[in-house]
Chain A
Amino acid sequence: MNNTERLLNFFGVTTEDLRKIIDKALSSGGTYADLFFEYTVANEMALRDGEVNSAGSHIDYGMGVRVLSNERTGYAYTEITSTDAMMRAALTASGIASGSIKSSTPVEIKNIPYKNRYPIEIEWLKATVSSKIPFLNYLNTRIFESDRRVNKVLARVSDSQTEVLFFNSLGEIYSDVRPMASLTATCIMEENGRVENASSSRSFRMGAEFLSMKVVEQVADEAVDRCKILFDAIQPKGGEMPVVMGAGSSGILLHEAIGHAFEADFNRQNISIFSDKLGKKICRDEISVVDDGTISFNRGSVNIDDEGVVGQKTYMVKDGVLNSYLHDRISAEYYKTSPTGNGRRESFRFMPLPRMRATYMESGKSRESDIIGSVKKGIYVDNFSNGQVQIGAGDFTFYVKSGWLIENGKLTQPIKDINIIGNGPEALANIVAVGDNLKIDDGTWTCGKEQYCPVSCGMPSVLVSSLTVGGI
C-alpha cells in the first residue's frame, strides 16, 4: 500500500468519495476546487529553572474544501471526515459561485510526482519523551557553564509530523509527510542589577535525528554569545545612515522589504508598490534574489505546495531585474503564467495564499571586511527579532536585537534594541555592495501574513547606503 492509499484509508475516504465532494463543490459553477486533508501530531517539552517540567502533545485533524470562481474563493472546513460533513463543507464553499456546473472531475486520477526534500530517518512518533530530556538538560548545563552571569535558562524542543492528502478538480492527487523540528533557548544574565536576555534557535524539516549534541551546542553557544554582548551595548543616536547587514539572518530585509510585495495576490490587486515593475530593472546587476522551496530539510521547503504544485526555486530578481512574482493558482491564472509552488496555508482551517518559502540573495563578489571598511559612520547588524511591511507604501521595518557601530571602517561599539525603517524599492536600489558569503539562517522564522507559515531566509553581507535607524 503506498502512502496515498494509506492516507485514503486513514481519513476514511475513497477516490469515488473525493469525486463526489468535488462535484458538490463545483455544483454552483466554480471553475476549480480542491480538498485538503490534514492530520498533525505536535509535541513539545520545556525546561525551566533547571528542570524539564512540562510536556505537551496536540492532535489536529480535519479537511478543507476550496472552490474558485475565477479569482474568487469560497472556503469551508470540517473536523469530521464523514461524507455528510464534507458534503456540507463543499456546499458552503460552493456559494462563492452562482450558476450551474461548468466543469467536472476527469475520470483518470493522476498522482503528482515530486522529489522528497525531507526524508525522515527516525519518525517523531517513535521518539520517546525520555529520549528528548537529555538534550534539554545538556542545553541548560552548557549555557550555565558558559558564563557566571547566567541567571535563568528557558529551553524548548518541539516537533510535529503532518500528513497531507490532496485531491483537486483536475483529477490530481498527492500525499505528503511533513516533519518539523525546533530547538530554542533563551538565556537571561544578570550583572550588578542589570539584566539582559537573548535567544537562539534551530529548526528543520527533520525527524528525530534532528536532536544531536551538535545542534544543542550551536543553540547554547549562540544564545550565550548574543546575551554577553548586550552588557556593553547601547541604543545609538538615530537617523539616516549606511547599514551593513551581516550574512544570514539579515535575510529578514528581503522577506520584509521585497518578499511580501512580490507575493502575487497583492500585485494582481494592484496594491503592491511593485505592481508595475515586472520585467523592469529594480537594482544593481549583481543582485539576484531567490525564493526556494527545494533546499533539503529547510524549514521553508515544500515538496509540493498546498494546492498541488511541486516545490521549486523561483528567481524573484535575476541580475537586477524583477523576474517573477510568487504565485498561487489564482494569480498564475491572472498573469497567464505557471504557479510557482508558493500556495501555502497554516492548516486545513485556512485557504492557501501566495507565501514565501526560503528567501535569500545569492552571493556577490565583495568581502565582508571590505564592505565594513568602506563605511565611515554607520551600523552593522546581524541579530533580529521581528519585522513588518506596508505592502502599498513599501515601508518596511525590522527590529535589531544587537549589532555594532561602524566608525571609520571598524566595528567599535555594540548596539541593541533599535528599529530600522526603510522603503522597499529604495532599499533594494540602495544596496551598493554584496558579499561573497551567503548564509541561510536556520532559526525558527515564522511568517504571519493572515496565517502562520514556517519560512527561512538568508543573505550574504550587504551594504545598504541609507536606512533610517532608531535611536536616542
Chain B
Amino acid sequence: MNNDIESESVKAAQYAVERAIKSGCSAARSSLSISTQNSFAVRDGELDRLHGSTGSSLFIQVFINDRYGAYSTNRFDKRELESFISNAIEATKYIEKDICRGLPEKELCYRNDRPPLVQHDSRLFELSAEEMKNIAFTSADEILGSDKRLISVNCEFSGSLDFSYMTDSQGFEGASKQSLYSLSAECSVRGAGEARPEAWWYEASMFFEQLKRDGVAKMALKRATDKLSPKKMKSGRYTMVVENSVSNRLISPIISALNGASIQQNNSFLKNSLGKRLFSDKMIIFDDAINPSAMGARYFDSEGIATNPSSIIQNGRVEKYFINSYYSKKMGIPATIEGPSVPIMRPFDNIELTLKEIVYNCGNGILVTGFNGGNTNSSSGDFSFGIEGFYFENGEILHPVKEMNITGNLIELWNNLLYTGSDARDVSRWMIPSLAFEGVSFSGI
C-alpha cells in the first residue's frame, strides 16, 4: 500500500487519541487497519471474477472516569474525526461506570525491544494483472479435461497486504505489516446419481515466492472424486482419525473456553481448571507467539500487551487462561494475553507420525476429512458435529461415509486421544496436526 496513505492514516490515529484526551477522556486508544487486496478467479478455463480494493478503519476506545465506549470509522478527515470523537465522548458519558475498564498496566505492554518481525512481502504491488491471472489459469490447467467426472473447477489467486498501527494515551505505540498470498481450487464432480460432491484445497504463504502453486487443483480434484459413492454406516463407537486440514475444529472450543470472558461469565466448561489435568497426558498445546516464520506471530495483542511463547496445555494439564486487562480486574487475577497467536499442537514424546501412519496404527475406524455444521455447548463441553470422511479397515481406506454425526463431550474426547501427528499444515495461524481418538460415538443408520 501507499506509504503516504499509511503515514497520513497514522497521523489520524495519533490525532484521535490526542483529541480524546483534550476533550476530557481519562484514557484513549486508537487502532488503525489498512488492507489492500487483489484476487483473480478462473472458472472452467475462463476468468470469472476479479476484485481489487484498499480498505481502512480506525477503531477508537475511550475511557471517561471508568466509563467505556468503542467506536470506529473509515472517515479520516480531521473535521469529521473531531465531530466523531465528540459524539463518541458524549455517548459514553451515559454509560454506567465500570471500575474495571481502563488501559492495561504499562509494564505489561510491548516496548518495541525485539527485532522486527519480517512478515511482509510487497511483491503484490509489482505483480501485473496478467501475472496474477496466469497463476490461477495455470492451476486450473492442471486438471481441465483430465477427468470426465469433473463438472466445474474454480481456481483463485489472492494477495493481500495488511498494515496495522496502535497507539494509546499512556505512550504505547506499535505497528505491524503482514502479507498473505494464497492459491485455492474448488472442484465439483459427478459420478453415478444426482450428487455432485465438491472439494477444495489451498496453499498460502506470507511470501509470494514461497507460495506452493503446483498440485493445488490436482489435490482438489482428488479430494472430490474420492467422495464419490459414499455409503451410510451403522451407528456405533469407532476410532476416529481427524485430518490435519480440519483438526483445529476440535481445538477451537477449548481455546474459547480458556478465554476470560467465558470464564468470568460462568459460561466455560473449563472454569476452575487452571493447573488441573483434565485431558489425556498426550495433549500438548503451545503458543508459539513470536516465531518469526509463523503466520500470525505478533509482539503485542489488541491492548498492546506483549506476547510471549507459552504453554497452553501441557500433558493434559491446563496451564493458561487468556485474560485481558478487563477480565483481570473483574476476576482479580493477573492479566495474560487476550488469546493465542500461533497455537501449535505438539506430538507426545516427540514421536513423528504422518496421517498414513496414524491410520495404519489405528487399524479400523473412520477418517474425518471435513466437518459439516455442528456446535459445542460452551457451558458443558457437549458437542455434536456432522462429518464427512472415509471408513478404513486394517489401515486401508475402504469407502467414503455418508450423513454421519459425531457426538460427545470434549473433555471425554480429549481423554481418549490416541495419536498426535507431526504433520500440521503451515498455511494458517493455527498449526494443528492430524489426530486420533478412540471410542467416538458416530450416529448413522
Contacts and interface: CB of A to CB of B under 8 A. Distances in A.
Contacts, number: 250
Given A53-B96, A397-B373, A419-B374, A472 B227 contact: no
Interface core residue of A95, A190, A393 (most chain B CB under 10 Å): A393
A397 B265 contact: no
A438 interface: no
Contact of A273 (B50, B56, B196, B386): B196
Contacts of B29: none
Contact of A55 (B54, B55, B69, B75): B69
B48 A129 contact: no
Contact of A59 (B73, B330, B405): B73
Contact of A57 (B91, B195, B445): B91
Interface in B71-130: 71-75, 84, 87-88, 91-92, 94-98, 101, 129
A95 B405 contact: no
Interface string A112-130: 0000000000000000111
A351 B91 contact: no
B152 A271 contact: yes
A59 B444 contact: no
A270 B380 contact: no
Interface in B406-428: 406-408
Contacts of A459: none
A386 B375 contact: yes
A224 interface: no
A152 interface: yes
B420 to A, nearest CB: 24
B368 to A, nearest CB: 13
Contacts of B84: 59
A470 B407 contact: yes
A161 B371 CA distance: 36
Contacts of A397: 372-374, 386, 405
Given A58-B73, A271-B198, A188 B265 contact: yes
B145 interface: no
Nearest to B197: A393
Contact of B383 (A89, A275, A417): A417
A417 B384 contact: yes
Contact of A95 (B50, B69, B188, B441): B50
Interface string A215-245: 0000000000000000000010011100000
Interface stretch (A13-21, A73-81, A299-307): A73-81
B194 interface: yes
B195 A393 contact: yes
B267 A197 contact: yes
B375 A419 contact: yes
Nearest to A197: B379
A272 B194 CA distance: 9
Interface core residue of B47, B97, B408 (most chain A CB under 10 Å): B47
Main secondary structure of the interface of A (DSSP, over half): strand
A386 B373 CA distance: 7
B150 to A, nearest CB: 11
B22 interface: no
A154 interface: yes
Contacts of A468: 403-405, 443-445
A421 B385 CA distance: 9
Interface string A255-288: 0100000000000011111011000000000000
B53 interface: yes
A423 interface: yes
A388 B371 CA distance: 10
B95 A270 contact: no
A270 B72 CA distance: 42
Interface string A170-188: 0000000000000000101
A390 B197 contact: yes
A384 to B, nearest CB: 10
A365 B75 CA distance: 55
B353 interface: no
Nearest to B375: A399
Given A73-B49, A471-B441, A52 B96 contact: yes
Contacts of B444: 239-240, 468
A398 interface: yes
Interface string A349-376: 1010000000000000000000000000
Sort chain B's interface into a size bin: 35 or more
A130 B51 contact: no
B388 to A, nearest CB: 7
Main secondary structure of the interface of B (DSSP, over half): strand
Contacts of A409: none
A470 B46 contact: no
A53 B196 contact: no
A398 B373 contact: yes
A102 interface: no
A172 B70 CA distance: 39
Nearest to A91: B52
B265 A55 contact: no
A101 to B, nearest CB: 19
A120 B424 CA distance: 52
Contacts of A60: 73-74
A239 B71 contact: no
Contacts of B196: 270-273, 275, 391-393
Interface in A415-472: 416-423, 425, 468-472
A58 B56 contact: no
Given A55-B69, A190-B266, A392 B48 contact: no
B68 interface: yes
A329 B440 CA distance: 47
Given A72-B48, A397-B373, A129 B152 contact: no
Contacts of A45: 95
B91 A62 contact: no
Given A53-B101, A152-B266, A128 B379 contact: no
B142 interface: no
A186 B70 CA distance: 21
A255 to B, nearest CB: 12
Interface string A64-87: 000000011111111100000000
Contact of B405 (A55, A72, A349, A469): A469
B71 A56 contact: yes
B348 to A, nearest CB: 27
Nearest to B407: A470
5 contacts: A71-B48, A396-B373, A418-B407, A419-B384, A419-B386
Interface of B: 43, 46-56, 67-75, 84, 87-88, 91-92, 94-98, 101, 129, 151-152, 188, 194-198, 227, 235, 265-267, 330, 372-375, 377-380, 382-386, 388, 402-408, 441-445
Given A269-B152, A470-B443, 16 more contacts: A53-B101, A54-B70, A73-B49, A194-B380, A196-B380, A235-B407, A238-B407, A269-B188, A271-B152, A349-B55, A391-B198, A416-B382, A417-B382, A419-B385, A469-B405, A471-B407
**What 10 pairs across the A-B complex have the smallest Cβ distances?**
A238-B443, A397-B373, A470-B405, A392-B196, A388-B373, A397-B386, A419-B384, A470-B384, A53-B98, A271-B188
